[in-house]
Structure 1
Amino acid sequence: MTEKRVYIFGNGKAEGRADMRNLLGGKGANLAEMNLIGVPVPPGFTITTDVCNEYYAIGKERVVELLKDDVTKAVQHIENLMNSKFGDVENPLLVSVRSGARASMPGMMDTILNLGLNDEVVEGLARKTGNTRFAWDSYRRFVQMYGDVVLGMKPTNKDDIDPFEAIIEEVKEAKGVKLDNELDVEDLKELVKRFKAAVKAQTGQDFPTDSHEQLWGAICAVFDSWMNERAILYRKMEGIPAEWGTAVNVQAMVFGNMGDTSATGVCFSRDAATGEDLFNGEYLINAQGEDVVAGIRTPQQITLEGSRRWAALAGIDEETRAAKYPSMEEAMPEIYKELDAIQTKLENHYRDMQDMEFTVQEGKLWFLQTRNGKRTGAAMVKIAMDLLRQGMIDEKTAIMRVEPNKLDELLHPIFAKEALAKAKVIAKGLPASPGAACGRIVFFADDAAKWAKDGHKVIMVRIETSPEDLAGMQVAEGILTARGGMTSHAAVVARGMGKCCVSGAGMLNINYKERTIEVDGLTLKEGDFISLNGTTGQVYEGQVTTKAAEVSGDFADLMDLCNKYSRLQVRTNADTPHDAQVARNFGAVGIGLCRTEHMFFEGEKIKAMREMILAETSQERQKALQKILPYQKEDFKGIFRAMDGYPVTVRLLDPPLHEFVPHDDKGQQEMADAMHVSLDYIRKRVESLKEQNPMLGHRGCRLGNTYPEITQMQTRAILSAALELKAEGINCRPEIMVPLTGIRYEFEAQEKIIREEADKLFSEMNTSIEYKVGTMIEIPRAALTADRIALHAEFFSFGTNDLTQMTFGYSRDDIASFLPIYLEKKILKFDPFQVLDQNGVGQLIKMATEKGRSVRPDLKCGICGEHGGEPSSVKFCHRVGLNYVSCSPFRVPIARLAAAQAAVEDTL
């Protein structure tokens, strides 16, 4: 813990800087940096993230005591620069209190604006500014925010809106107005009075009037919000450690709600949804920042081009747009020029797309925040490649700028053009986050979670979203809101999550109580299907057909760049020609795992397979295997053809035989009829195959060694398929993999069967083909004795699913009973079946690779478990010198990027 707990900034000077984000949080570090490069920033101070950890370690009272002197001095620093006094009636200083973790968590933690007001100070503020309406508008906002955040005001049930919002709606209805800014001074005074009464009624305490008491309440509330439900959920989704903590930023207030020469807004130096190099954003005249991000009022566009785009989407003609919804570029041209110049300066300084918040107070521009903006996967790729082409970053930086898992968004299906031509458009909104989404309408977060758990795809529909909706947004296919702009909470969080989102579809009449949407005479109920096009902002009735995505444009360029730097190759796990072709299109350079058992579960194949399993003698088995052989051969031919020129690793039969036999009366009767035996015979044979622990029983190479005819048939099917394709000019590179080897002699016995059958086949066909024989290392003993196994095996493929299971002693099928508790209690950091355990399982991989290569230096090693597409696991495989990873087809680009990043990290 550093002794310094509070860092001040202001007037072009700062005690912090951009590279101190771990200590000052992203917001605090960037506020300091903006001061240092000459951007106008209201003065303030930052309480460090270390203090947040102290807060939870030693308690609130002790932390307040430790901070008191430093905070008092820091407040005096703001007072001196702003020439006003905190808590003073005649010349009051008001402050904002905001969170600021090192990783951006938009909307997850709490903010309080206009802090320092009470019944006397508000009158002084009115006299000082000569603007009574502004003073009381600020006061009602403060009471509302402080009541929500610090005093814990909550709706009484989920169908209720916020209690303060309910009061506002009542006052507006009585006054006959629609917007908050249409309320006059007396209305605002009435709101404050009723807000305070609501606080007293619900909390049993009076609203605090002492400014210092208010400040400490707000500071502690921000620290408390680090552990609120939505922040915890967001950290879990984004992999942000709880021990990082949040900083607290206290700044002098600047006011966007002082009249028509004041405004507030959010802007981006590039399009956060598409990545286009277009300055864009939204603003509101006579408003405060929360009005924009909360989505309560649909804001106007900053640029003229953006305004015209918005109007076109909303169906508004140019004359109406210019008169009623002018851009900032038109309404405040001088401020716009300054804003445009500073956003360019900030992007050039940080060399990345910036997300900025600003306020205009009576014609003066102030910046409240800048950060590297949240963006969609498509935008992430485009921005990285554009910045590279523009000379702002180099190739290695471009590779490191893209998060591997975000590529998954580019691989999601998109709407088929022919389906869109027939689809019925029922509404238009803003294209807040691109993609295609179809699902059933739900209105509340807990319902979304329940429906999704029951297997339904859902679209979360809200008037506007709040951070409390995060759990529903997480499970939804897409998000649709009636209010809010491109910078609203829904839009920002959706982009960060890679969710399709359409916001600000104002023509929708959403009724929470009835659970309906009404638009142009059409009524849709909860559970009805709708489809969202997050790229165009269109909303369709019913389900619209989708098609697979393609690797092209900037995505393809990024993949080419990855090839330039990667050492680790990426193969795929594929059992069908279709999957093999998909993976090849995504850049896979071979198949690392072809599971032959997956080829048996259809039509006549399964009957022949069951016949073989239920046979009692070797002759009967061989007879059934002769029926299977042509099916297997055709399957292999399709896969070899799809992977022309690339290696294909085929795993011999692995699962316990009982998985293939029928366990129901109907299926057993069918087998009895097909085999011309009695039902009783089939029942007894099925019963005889049962095992107490089948995953540790008669499976893997144990099958091939007890029933060598199975290995003979599969070898013949693999190699005869390759030979027939060779005659067609197809370059086949078969690799035959023996599963579940634990003892060197198990492998030797299987290798002998394979090579004898191969020699016999080559003699019969009077031709041959090169092939390899290797094994899966998925038993800890195999890793320990890898140097002995490598005397015969030509390659190792680490089956990390089983290796994890056997190393931990965890059953993959039963882990759900304790894993969530282990993760919650931090006994485990990650699910070891999703993220490779580098300290245990990883060390077995490292040791087995080194031992194997000590006797066979050219031993090829790779992994083919689920970890082959998980970025941190891929990087580990690079570090220990594996030749390849193999993963499912749609994870191939993710693995390719992770492999390139691993190589780049070696040079940094």
Structure 2
Amino acid sequence: MQKHTDIATYTEITPTAPIYVGQHGGRAKCLQRLVRLDMPVPRTIALPFDKVQAIAAGYPPNTAAMIAEFGEDALISVRPSSEDPDWGGPRAILNIGMNDARHAALCETEGPATANALYLRFIQAYAVHVARLDPDMFDAPILTPCADDPDLSKALATALRAYEDETDEQFPQDPARQLGEVLRSMARAWAGTTARLLRQAKGAPEDAGLGLVVQQMAMGIGSGESGSGVIQFVNGTTGEPQITGRYKSQSQGRDALGAKSEAIFLNKDPRGTSLAEILPEQFEALVRFGKLGRERLRDEMQIEFTIENGELVILDAVRVSRTSAAAVAIAVSLAEDGIISREEAVLRIDPRALTEMLHPQVDPEAERDIIASGIGASPGGATGKIVFSATAAQASLAQGDDCILVRRETAPEDIRGMHASVAVMTEKGGMTSHAAVIARGLGVPCIVGAHGISINHRDKILKLPDGRFFTEGDIITIDGTTGEALAGAAKMLDASLDGAFTTLLEWADEFRDIGVRANADTPTDALTARRFEAQGIGLCRTEHMFFEDDRLTVMREMIFAKQPEDRRASLDQLLPMQRADFIELFKIMQGQPVCIRLFDPPLHEFLPSTREGMRELAESLDLPLSDVTRRIANLKEFNPMLGLRGVRLGITLPEIYDMQAQAIFEAAVEASKHGDPVVPEIMIPLVSAQREAELVKTRIDAVASAVRFATGVEFTFRLGVMVETPRAALRAGDIAQNAAFLSFGTNDLTQMTYGLSRDDAGRFMSDYVQQGVFSEDPFHVLDTDGVGELLMIGADRARDAREGIMLSLCGEHGGNPESISFCRKAGFDYVSCSPYRVPVARLASAQLAIADPKPE
């Protein structure tokens, strides 16, 4: 004997019924709201999550009682109702209750053509989505009348016979059985592994529930004017007010959207007939319902409707599908109209969605010939011709051609090529690899860790996993948002930095309680940071200033100098260049703090790695090639990341930091003549011991005194330390005695804590995350357990040793909402991130402050 659930399994949706999003799903709750607004919604009952789960487990509801709710002759539909509509769900099934007897009755009242179409549509949906039969046997073309089957009677007979042949039984005639099988099929589909993985990819929890709504059919097919359509009142791409949608006569559900050639416009349109012309009263009612829905449901809704013999019926309403730009425009418009508060407008936007607005994007509707996939390390889209070297990229820029730099991996010497490119793709790397970090700073779309591609730099060939070849000069498109490279030039959408974007961020700034600075290495970066209203520069990596052609030669001369006085002679040539850079930075950021990190990378990064490059260097320095190759070999390190770099260079070759400090102080003096006094912040990189900070501080203080004496101008500065080694975090109390601030560089700190190379981890990181070794890529989302504990230890010990010390995070994690949440709870003063991530950080910080305000 079949068991039924022993308590009431459904609730009729009425204005006062106990319908809850967390129990019945978003669609059920929305239908109740439509009923409360007196919209003409057909009779509907809702099954809650637990009952649908019971159905999947083999405990069906009393479907005969459910059918009785609608009457013996009624046709009904079943639609999914998940908690969040974006999580999806099984396909809706229409016309449940159609059988031979109901078909015969409809033939009498509506005619054979209408009856055949309704019955055939149900058989097709039931066979494919409930009985799981071969879709090709019940393909959509059988629903289309033709010359030898104008009323679909032959198609109907064919479908019934096919069902019986495949199942060895007659098509189900009992409406209660039909409904029971539909409910069981939809419940089990939701519980399946594929469906669970798909909705988890959209952010749904593993145990997300599904409700089902059973609704009386509005036919949409009949002798009088009948049909179905969908209408919305804003443009889903821009968010601007605009009536869009379609209506198709003699149709059901969302048929109008799938057959636009046969559908008509809604509003009056010179291109053809409109619903406003043939059914003006019904159209005006839809417009009225749309306005009412916006005001009372507090969002822009897309309304699904049916016309049944001239009568308007509202079947459903869902949030308008929208781009990020439209989402911002809609939220701001609703707040400005007083429908929602500013706080709610700020909370409605996913911070990461802003990245899509800052750059041109590949049109999501465009066709895609995907040639490679990897990690989308810097968002946005760009089209250009392939180049395989920085030199080729610069040549392409000089010719006025857009180019995409394709490399196995990038190095500091590729920076000029990255500047010249509209996008970058690398075979290796992860979210914090060199290519990823620099591309985000430049606002250039970037893909790293492209799976399966093979690059032959000598022959200038890109080989794809499918065997195709691309050569230098071929056109491709990079989608840094999705991590896909496409063949040819794809259709693009423009960036969307309009008034709504600015307004939303102004509101965000009213609520946030943690500072947001930008990592900016050049005047261009600083201008971008200023444009996005960063509260200063939290990290200026000075080494990037030395890769310009005129400076690189002098830098190499300094590296090859054998005596301190020779090094100083080369550095004297670099001094005015550095000073000019800093003057421009200070002027751009006038009134805002600028934190300058002293020279960090190992010296070999400034030297050529190819035989041809070494020969050119020997000629420029007038040295034997053997001397150049020997010097480069001597500077080569087994593990450069842990070698002679950062403060270690500053102590062993102090002339470098002396020159930089002098340039900073002289620039501060000059820039202060044109506005507010500049108070530069100087940051020492890679410190692990108190004595390192003491030695550098002594020399910098001496340089400051010398500049004060030489210029006759008093100025102040702050000296701090970049905490990027575990020992620095553990000994932060000692180090803080010589530092006015500590800035945690979580890129290197994560590498050293894990013992992982951020450039190589991308090869296996996805496997680690999938198998639960790491919950997330620690180079993408801050590891709050391990690295986070080091940050907390460092912060606590620094505060204990020095009251009022400023604390910040300046790694790429600074633009990540989860990392900002950690920093805010830890009491950090600010976070710093790439200029193009500043808007994301501003919005995320505001949302955290609204959701969890700090005590007064």
- TM-score, normalisation: structure 1: 0.74
Post-superposition shift, 1:409?
A: 3.3
Cα pair distance change 1:897/1:254, threshold 3 Å: same
Which residues in structure 2 correspond to 1:102-141 (within 5 Å)? 102-105=83-86, 109-118=90-99, 120-121=100-101, 123-127=103-107, 129-141=109-121
Which letter does structure 1 place at the counterpart of 2:62? Answer: T
Distance 1:557 1:688, change over 3 A: same
Of the three residues 94, 97, 102, the one matched with 2:78 is 97
CA separation in 2, counterparts of 1:25 and 1:681? 74
Q: How has the CA–CA distance of structure 1 residues 99 and 659 changed in structure 2, closer, same or farther, with 3 Å as cutoff?
A: farther
In the alignment, the residues of structure 1 paired with residue 341 and residue 774 of structure 2 have an alpha-carbon distance, to the nearest angstrom, of 38
Give the match for residue 246 of structure 2: 282
Contact 2:324–2:357, Cα closer than 8 Å, also in 1 = yes
How far apart are 1:581 and its partner, in Å? 0.6
Are residues 42 and 628 of structure 1, via their aligned partners in 2, closer, same or farther at CA, if it must alter by over 3 Å? same
Partner of 1:535: none
Q: What is the match of residue 175 of structure 1?
A: 147
Tell me, yes or no, if structure 1 residue 72 matches structure 2 residue 38.
Answer: no
Pair 22,344 (structure 1): closer, same or farther in 2 beyond 3 Å: same
Counterpart contact for 2:346–2:508, Cα < 8 Å:
yes
Q: Determine if the alignment matches structure 1 residue 836 to structure 2 residue 782.
A: yes
Distance in 2 between residues matched to 1:163 and 1:622, nearest whole Å: 83
Aligned to 1:248: 212
Identity of aligned residues (%): 34
Q: Which amino acid aligns with 2:116?
A: W
SS at match of 1:797: strand
Q: 1:766 to 1:36 in 2, by over 3 A?
A: same
Would you say 1:24 and 2:24 are equivalent positions? yes
Q: What are the superposed Cα offsets for residues 431-471 of structure 1, whole Å, 9 maximum, x if unpaired? A: xxxxx7589x985x6x4364899999689xxxxxxxxxxxx
Supply the distance in 2 between the matched residues of 1:622 and 1:204 (Cα, whole angstroms): 89
One-letter identity of the residue aligned with 1:288: Q
Residues 1:331 and 2:274 are matched in the alignment: no
SS of residue in 2 equivalent to 1:770: coil
The code of the aligned residue for 1:81 comes to: E
* Greater mean deviation of Cα atoms: 285-294 or 243-252: 243-252
Q: Match of 1:639, as an amino acid? A: L
- How far is the alpha carbon of 1:31 from its aligned partner? 2.7
Q: Tell me, in whole angstroms, the C-alpha distance in 2 between the residues paired with 1:298 and 1:894.
A: 43
Unmatched segments (≥5 aa) in structure 2: 385-422, 424-444, 446-473, 479-487
Q: Tell me the C-alpha RMSD between the 2 structures.
A: 3.8
Bigger drift between 565-574 and 689-698 goes to 689-698
Q: 1:209 aligns with which of 159, 166, 172?
A: 172
Residue 81 in structure 1 maps to residue 64 in structure 2:
no
Residue in 2 that maps onto 1:664 = 610
Q: Distance in 2 between matches of 1:405 and 1:334?
A: 43
2:842: which partner in 1?
A: 896
Aligned-partner SS, 2:62: helix
Query: 1:301-340 maps to which residues of 2 (within 5 A)?
Result: 301-302=265-266, 304=267, 307-308=268-269, 311=270, 316=271, 321=272, 325-327=273-275, 329-340=276-287
In the other structure, the counterpart of 1:868 is 814
Hey, what's the Cα distance between the residues in 2 that align with 1:871 and 1:228? 32
How many Å apart are 1:643 and its aligned residue? 1.0
Q: Does the aligned pair in 1 maintain the 2:537–2:594 contact within 8 Å?
A: yes
Q: Is the counterpart of residue 686 in structure 1 residue 632 in structure 2?
A: yes
The 8 Å contact of residues 269 and 347 in structure 1, kept in 2 or not, is answered as no
SS in 2 for 1:264: strand
Partner Cα separation in structure 2 for residue 585 and residue 261 of structure 1: 56
Are the structure 2 counterparts of residues 636 and 220 from structure 1 closer, same or farther at C-alpha, using a change threshold of 3 Å?
Answer: farther
Distance 1:742 1:121, change over 3 A: farther
Q: Aligned ranges for residues 24-43 of structure 1 at < 5 Å?
A: 24-36=24-36, 38-43=38-43
> Following TM superposition, by how much is the alpha carbon of 1:133 offset from its aligned partner in structure 2, in angstroms?
2.0
Query: How far off its partner does 1:280 sit?
Result: 4.6
Shift of 1:94: 3.2
Q: Which residue of 1 aligns with 2:299?
A: 352
Equivalent residue of 1:649, what SS? Answer: strand
Q: Distance in 2 between matches of 1:147 and 1:130?
A: 25
Distance 1:5 1:613 in 2: 83
2-structure distance, mates of 1:326, 1:814: 59
Q: Does 1:142 find its partner at 2:127?
A: no
**How many angstroms does 1:647 deviate by?**
0.8
Change (3 A) 1:34 1:770: same
Q: CA deviation at 1:650?
A: 0.9
CA contact (8 A) 1:122 1:136 kept: no
1:538-560 CA-to-partner distances (Å, cap 9, x unmatched) read xxx9789998764x523222222
The answer to whether the 8 A contact 1:636-1:721 is kept is yes
How far off its partner does 1:48 sit?
A: 3.8
SS at match of 1:301: coil
Aligned to 1:374: 321
Q: Structure 1's 821 and 115: CA in aligned 2 closer, same or farther, altered over 3 A?
A: farther
Matched residue, 2:12: 10
Cα distance change of structure 1 residues 632 and 95 upon mapping to structure 2, 3 Å threshold = same
**Structure 1: tracts of 5 or more residues without a match:** 56-61, 85-90, 156-161, 177-182, 414-435, 460-476, 478-498, 500-526, 532-540
- Out of 215, 229, 233, which is 1:265 matched to? 229
Cα deviation, residue 735, structure 1: 0.8
Moved more, 259-268 or 188-197: 188-197
Q: Alignment partner for residue 884 of structure 1, among 830, 833, 836?
A: 830
Q: CA deviation at 1:237?
A: 5.7
1:390 aligns with 2:337: yes
Quick one: structure 1 residues 529 and 881, their matched pair in 2 at CA, closer, same or farther if it must change by over 3 Å? closer
Q: Which residue of 1 aligns with 2:346?
A: 399
The change in CA–CA distance for 1:400 and 1:76 in structure 2 (over 3 A counts) is: same
Q: Aligned partners of 1:197, 1:622: CA distance in 2, in Å? A: 93
Q: Which amino acid aligns with 1:820?
A: S
Offset of 1:607 from its aligned partner? 2.3
User: Aligned residue for 2:312?
Assistant: 365
The reply to whether residue 184 of structure 1 matches residue 150 of structure 2 is yes
| 1:470 aligned residue | none
State the 1:150 CA deviation. Answer: 3.7
Write the letter of the residue equivalent to 1:191.
Answer: A
Whether the 8 Å CA contact 1:94–1:116 is kept in 2: the answer is yes
Secondary structure in 1 matching 2:25: helix
Cα gap change, 1:681 to 1:730, in 2 (>3 Å): farther
Shift of 1:603: 0.7
Whole-angstrom distance in 2 between the partners of 1:8 and 1:193:
35
CA distance in 2 between partners of 1:151 and 1:743 (Å): 71
| 1:727-876 paired onto structure 2 within 5 Å | 727-729=673-675, 731-876=677-822
SS in 2 for 1:258: coil
Q: CA deviation at 1:814?
A: 2.0
In 1, Cα distance between the equivalents of 2:477 and 2:652? 55
Pair 1:453–1:745, CA change in 2 (3 A): closer
| Letter paired with 1:65 | G
Q: Shift in Å at residue 294 of structure 1?
A: 3.6
* C-alpha spacing 1:598/1:258, structure 2 compared with 1 (3 Å): farther
Using the alignment, how far apart are the partners of 1:809 and 1:906 within structure 2?
35
Distance in 2 separating the partners of 1:34 and 1:45: 14
2:551 to 601, 605, 608: 605
**Corresponding residue SS for 2:77:** strand
Change (3 A) 1:805 1:200: farther
Partner of 1:448: 370
Q: How does 1:201-240 map to 2 (within 5 A)?
A: 208-209=171-172, 211=175, 214-223=178-187, 225-226=189-190, 235=199, 238-240=202-204
AA aligned to 1:110 is: R
After superposition, residues 546-695 of structure 1 pair within 5 angstroms as 550=497, 552-695=498-641
Normalised TM-score (structure 2): 0.79
Q: In terms of mean alpha carbon deviation, does 734-743 or 387-396 score higher? A: 387-396
What SS does the corresponding residue of 2:339 show, helix, strand or coil? coil
Kept in 1, the 8 Å contact 2:515–2:830? The answer is yes
Give the Å deviation of 1:124: 3.7
Deviation at residue 664 of structure 1 after TM alignment = 0.5
* Post-superposition offset of 1:149: 3.0
Write the deviation string for residues 259-283 of structure 1: whole angstroms up to 9, x where unpaired. Answer: 5422222233544333334555432
